[in-house]
Structure 1
Amino acid sequence: MRNTIKFICGLIFIGSITSCKKFLDVNQNPNQAVDANVPYRPIFTGALQSAAENQGGGPSILMRWMGYWGVPGDYAIDQSETSYNVPNTTSNAPWIGNYDILYDLYLAKTKALAVNDKVTAGCAMILSVRYFQDLVDMFGNVPYRDIFQSNKNPQPKYNKAQEIYADLFKVLDTAITYVNSPMNETQTAAFNKSDIATGGDIEKWNKLANTYRLRLCIRQSEVSGFNPSPEIAKIVANGGVLHAGESFDVNPGYADADNKQSPFYGNFAFTPLGNDASATTRANQYMVHILENSADTRLINYYRPLSGTTVIGVTYGANSSDNPTGSGSSKVGIGIAKSATQNAWIFPSFESMFLEAEAITRGWMPGNAKAAYEAAVIENYVWLNANQYGPPAEDAAWYMDESQNPDGGPISDFDNAGTTVASKAKFIAYQKYIALNGIDVLEAWFDLNRLHMIPDNGYISANPAKVSNTLPVRFPYPDIERRTNAANVAAEGTINIFTGKLFWQP
C-alpha cells in the first residue's frame, strides 16, 4: 500500500480538477482547490477511488504478520516489525488513510444534502460505515462524532468503540432510506456518471449496505447478550448481501501507464516498464505450505511460480541469510494482480458470502450452512480464476471433497467441521483466512482476534528477539495523533497492544 492515500479528484472521464484539501492537511496553497469550491460529485468519485486504493490488500505489515507475505533475503529484516515491538509511527498510514477517505465522504454527503441529493449522500454514508468500523477495530475508541468539526473543535474527543458500533447501525438505516429516494432524469444521469463503482446500480448499493451491516453483526458474535435479530431482519428485508458476481469494485479507466495503473497491480506487481513494483514483497512460506499440503490449486493464483507450479516462499522474521533472494522467491500471483487495468476491489463477492455462511451457521439467517460455505469457496476460486485442473468451480469442488484430496492437509470438507456452532464458525473463518490471502488482511486479523481460528502459530515471526508469541490485537494510537491531539490520547490511558482487547474480543 502507498504510505499516503492521495485523494484524486481528476478522473479520466470527468476531466481535470486540481487536488482537494484533505482532512489532515496543515498547509494551504492559494492556487489549490479547497472544500468550498469543489463540486461534491468529483469528491464522491475521488472517495470511491481512494477507498479502492486503501482497500487493495490492506496494511502490508499485517500481510506479513498474518502469514501471507514476507521479505526476501536481499533485504535486512525490520527488527521492530518482526519482533512486534511496534513504534507509534507504524499506525500513521492506516489512521490518516481512513480519516482522509472519511473526510471526503463527509464532504460529499454534506454537499449533496445541501442540494437535496439524498442518493449520493446515502452512498457516501454507506461507505463511511466500513472505514469507521475499521478504525474502531484497529484502534478501539477513536474520534467519531466531532471529528470533522475542526473549525469548532480542532482536538476532538474520543468516542467509545461500542457506542460507535451502535451508531453505525443507525447510519445505515438513514443511508438506505436516502439511496432509495427518487431522482429525476438529470440527477440520475449525473449520479450514474459519478458512481465509478456500479454506474448507478442502487440495488448493489443496498446490498453493500446490508453486507456492512452483517459485518458489524458478525464482529460481535462473541459479545455476551448481543442480539443480531433486528439487524438481520433488516438485511433480509432489504434484499440480502453481495453474492456471486457482485463484487463491489471501481475502475475509473485504469491503464498501463505512470500513475494510471490499477492500484494493487501498480503497488505489488509490475511498473509500466515491466519492473518489479515491490522488490520487498514475496510469498510467505507459511501460507505456501498450507496451500501445498492441501493440493490447493489457488497456490499459483496467490503467488507467481518460479517455474511450472513451483512456488517458493520466505520465512517471516528469519535472518536475511536464511531466506531466498527476491529472484529465488515468488511474487504476488496473477489471481490478485491480474493486469494494470483490473478493477480495484472495495468488497469482494466471496468475502460477503463467507460472512453469510457464518451467519447461517450461527442460525442468524435462513439457509443451508454447508451450501453457503461451498458457494463462498467456489466464488473465491472464480474470483481468482483458479483453473489448474478445469473450470474454477470444478477446482473448488475438488478442494472441498476430502476424499479426492490424496495429500490431506487442512480439512476443507464442511462435513468435518465439527458438530458445534463454535467449531463450524471457526472452520468457516479459517477457510476465509485462506481465501483472503493478499486481498483483505484486516478482515483476517479481526477474525483471528475474534475466533482464534488459525490452528497453529506457524505464522508467528521467527525473530528470536520478538517480544510476544502472539500478534498484537490492536494498533497503538499513531504518532501524528499523539502530537496533535495529545490530551485526548492521554485520556485513553496506557493500552497494551497485546492484551488491550476491544469490546468484541473474547
Structure 2
Amino acid sequence: MKKIKFLMSIIVCGVALSSCNNYLDINENPNNVHQENLTPQLIFPGAVSQTYRTQGTTMLTFGNIMMNSWAGNTYAYGGPFASEYTLNSVNSSFYSDIWDGIYPNIANFAFIENYPNADGKQDNYIAAAKIMKAYYMQYLVDLYGDVPYSEAFKGQNNLTPKYDDDVAIYKALINDMDVAKSLIANAKPTALSMGAADIVFAGNMSSWTNFANTIKFKLLMRMSNVTGDLATYRDTQLATLASAPFISADVFEKPGYAGTSDAAMHPTTVNYFINAAISAYPQNYTLITASENLAAALNGNNLSLPDAYYQKYNGLPDPRRFRLFLPYSGGTVVRGIRQGATPGQPGAPNDNTEVSKLSYFMVGSNTGTLSQVIKLGNDRGGLLMSLAELNLLKAEAALRYPAIFPTFDGLSSFNLAVTQSGKVMNADTQLSMASYITQISTRPGLGWVGTTEQKYEAIMTQKWILLTQYNPTEMYIEYNRLGQKYPFSPMATTATRPNKPLRLVYPTSEYVGNSANVPNVTSAEVFTKNSKTPFWNQN
C-alpha cells in the first residue's frame, strides 16, 4: 500500500479527535495531536466514525446500484452510472474508494490492538477495536478475496505487506471475536471504562460481547456454501454460538453528528439529502431515484411488469416504501427508472418525467419539519447493524442448521425481522407492519411460506428492502453468496456482461504502491468463479 495511506491512518484519528468531544471535524491542523500522545481513548471514536463514512457514502451508492435498487435520473442527467450499468469498466478505479476508505481506518483499530497494555488498562479498548476491525475487515475480504492482513497496518515498518489467503483471514477474524470476548470477561481491575469515548455502546461491555457473537455468526453464515474441512470448521464454530447472546437492539455509531457544519453532519445526510444549513441539495439528491425494479417491489407491481418474480408483489404496496423514496409530487407511489433506460425508452416513458427522490425519513424521524428530521437523524447516528438483519440470519440458520440451532424458530425470527425493519425505517409507528406480515404469509418468496428454497428467497427479499437504506453492499455480498438468484436483480438494459461482478479489482493505489505483492486480477476474472473469487463463493 502507498506510504501516505498508512500515515494518513494516524492523522485521521488525531484530526478527528482534536476538538473537544467532536470526532467529526476533518479540517483541524494535524499538528494539534502528536502521535506519541495518541491513546486508545483518543483514537477509538475517530476510528469508528471515520470508517463509517465509507459505509454511509461510497458503499451506499455501490451496493444500491449493484442491487438494482437505485437508478440515475436520466430526465435530469445524461448517461448517469454508465460504468455501473454497462460493467465494461470494472477495473482498478472502479469504486476504489471502498478499499482506500476502509483500509487506512482499520489501521487505527490495529494501532489500538497493539498499544502497550502490560497493566491491562486497555483491555476494553483492545477488545472493542478487535470487534470493529473484524466488522470492516470482512467487507474487504468479501469484496476482494485475498488481501494484506498479517503484515498490514504496520505503517513505515512495512509499506509493502504481503497478501494473505482469505480463508486464513476469516479464521483469524473469527478467533479475534473469541479473544475479544475473553478480554472483556477477564478484564483486569485496572481496565479503563470506555464511557463516552465508546460511541457505539457507551462503555457497555456486555453489549460488545453480544456484538462480537453477532459478527462471528455473520462471518460463519457467509460460509454456507463451503465444503470439506471448511464446512466442518464452520459447523464446529457455529455450535459455539448455539446459546450465545446476540445484539438485542440496533447498533449505531453516535459520534455527535450536528448541523454546525457540513463536516459535522451525518455523512449520508450531507451527501444525499441536504447541507448543514438546510439551504442547498447535493447533486446526489437530484441524481438518484428508485430503480424500476425496487419501485415495482415497493408499489405492489403497479406497472404489471411481466417477470414472474414480480407477481408475488401484485396488489400489495409495501408499508415501508416512503421511508426509502418519497412519492413524486402529486403521486401516491414510488416512481423510478429502469436502469440503463433513457427518456422515451421502456422503463423511462416520456410522460413519466417526474420521479421519486430519496426519502430523508430513512436517516431521521417519521414526522416533523425537515430541520427536525435531520436533527433526529444526526442524533440517531450511523446504523452499523440492525436487529432485523440479525433475525433474518437466525431465520436462515433455522433452515440450514436445525441440528446446531434447535431453539431457533424460522417463522418467529422472520416475522420479528420484518416487524423490526419497519421500526428501524421509522415506519412502524404509523404503518401497520402486522397487517403486512399477515398479507405476505400466503405469498411464497415474500413471506414465510412454501418450500425451503422459497423461504430463502423471502429472507433475501426482505433483507434487500431492509439493507437498501443503510448497508446495501452487505446485500450485494449476500446476493453473490446465494448465486445471484435472490432477490431478483435484473441487469441494466445497457449491460455488456451476463452477470454482476463476483468481486472487485484491487485499486490503483495497490498496483502503484504494493506492486510486488498485489495479485493481478483482470476484468474478465471478476465475472467468473475462479481461484481469485472470495473463497466462500467458489463452489
Q: TM-score range by the shorter chain?
A: 0.7 to 0.9
Moved more, 96-105 or 121-130: 96-105
Q: 1:71 to 1:223 in 2, by over 3 A?
A: same
Report the Cα offset of residue 80 of structure 1. 2.3
Specify the alignment match of 2:235 in structure 1.
229
Q: What is the SS of the residue equivalent to 2:252?
A: strand
Indicate which of 228, 237, 242 corresponds to 2:247.
242
- Counting matched residue pairs gives 479
Specify the alignment match of 1:402 in structure 2.
439
Specify the alignment match of 1:435 in structure 2.
466
Q: What is the SS of the residue equivalent to 1:253?
A: coil
- Structure-to-structure mapping, 1:408-447, within 5 angstroms: 411-416=445-450, 418=451, 420=452, 422-447=453-478
Q: What is the SS of the residue equivalent to 2:384?
A: strand
Specify the alignment match of 2:496 in structure 1.
467
Structure-1 separation of matches of 2:259 and 2:24: 22
1:187 and 2:192 equivalent?
Answer: yes
1:314 and 2:337 equivalent?
Answer: yes
Structure-1 separation of matches of 2:436 and 2:18: 41
Tell me if structure 1 keeps the 8 A contact 2:295–2:334: yes
Q: What is the SS of the residue equivalent to 1:282?
A: strand
Tell me if structure 2 keeps the 8 A contact 1:119–1:181: no
Structure-2 separation of matches of 1:310 and 1:334: 16
1:296 and 2:296 equivalent?
Answer: no
Structure-2 separation of matches of 1:15 and 1:336: 24
Indicate which of 112, 116, 125 corresponds to 2:130.
125
Q: 1:124 to 1:404 in 2, by over 3 A?
A: closer
Report the Cα offset of residue 233 of structure 1. 3.3
Tell me if structure 2 keeps the 8 A contact 1:380–1:435: yes
Indicate which of 74, 81, 85 corresponds to 2:84.
81
Specify the alignment match of 2:38 in structure 1.
38
1:266 and 2:275 equivalent?
Answer: no
Tell me if structure 1 keeps the 8 A contact 2:47–2:105: yes
- Structure-to-structure mapping, 1:198-209, within 5 angstroms: 198-209=201-212
Q: C-alpha offsets along residues 216-239 of structure 1, whole Å, 9 cap, x if unaligned?
A: 1110101113133332333245x4
Letter aligned with residue 284 of structure 1: S
% same residue: 23
Tell me if structure 2 keeps the 8 A contact 1:248–1:346: yes
Report the Cα offset of residue 434 of structure 1. 2.0
- Structure-to-structure mapping, 1:318-467, within 5 angstroms: 318-319=341-342, 323=348, 328-338=354-364, 339-340=373-374, 341=378, 342-362=380-400, 363=402, 364-365=404-405, 366-387=407-428, 391-392=430-431, 395-402=432-439, 411-416=445-450, 418=451, 420=452, 422-452=453-483, 454=485, 459-463=490-494, 466-467=495-496
Letter aligned with residue 448 of structure 1: Y
Q: What is the SS of the residue equivalent to 1:328?
A: coil
Moved more, 368-377 or 107-116: 107-116
Q: C-alpha offsets along residues 423-475 of structure 1, whole Å, 9 cap, x if unaligned?
A: 43343122211221132112111111111364575531121xx3212100111
Gaps of 5+ in 2: 1-7, 301-315, 365-372
Q: What is the SS of the residue equivalent to 1:89?
A: coil
Structure-2 separation of matches of 1:113 and 1:82: 50
Q: C-alpha offsets along residues 40-63 of structure 1, whole Å, 9 cap, x if unaligned?
A: 212101112123323226241331
Q: 1:455 to 1:93 in 2, by over 3 A?
A: closer
Specify the alignment match of 2:3 in structure 1.
none
Tell me if structure 2 keeps the 8 A contact 1:40–1:112: no
Specify the alignment match of 2:149 in structure 1.
144
Q: C-alpha offsets along residues 183-229 of structure 1, whole Å, 9 cap, x if unaligned?
A: 558822xx112101111111111111111101111101011131333
Report the Cα offset of residue 69 of structure 1. 1.1
Specify the alignment match of 2:535 in structure 1.
503
Q: C-alpha offsets along residues 231-290 of structure 1, whole Å, 9 cap, x if unaligned?
A: 2333245x42223xx111122222223222222222212112333232322222210101
Q: 1:285 to 1:251 in 2, by over 3 A?
A: same
- Structure-to-structure mapping, 1:46-85, within 5 angstroms: 46-56=46-56, 58-73=59-74, 74-77=76-79, 78-85=81-88
Q: 1:285 to 1:372 in 2, by over 3 A?
A: same
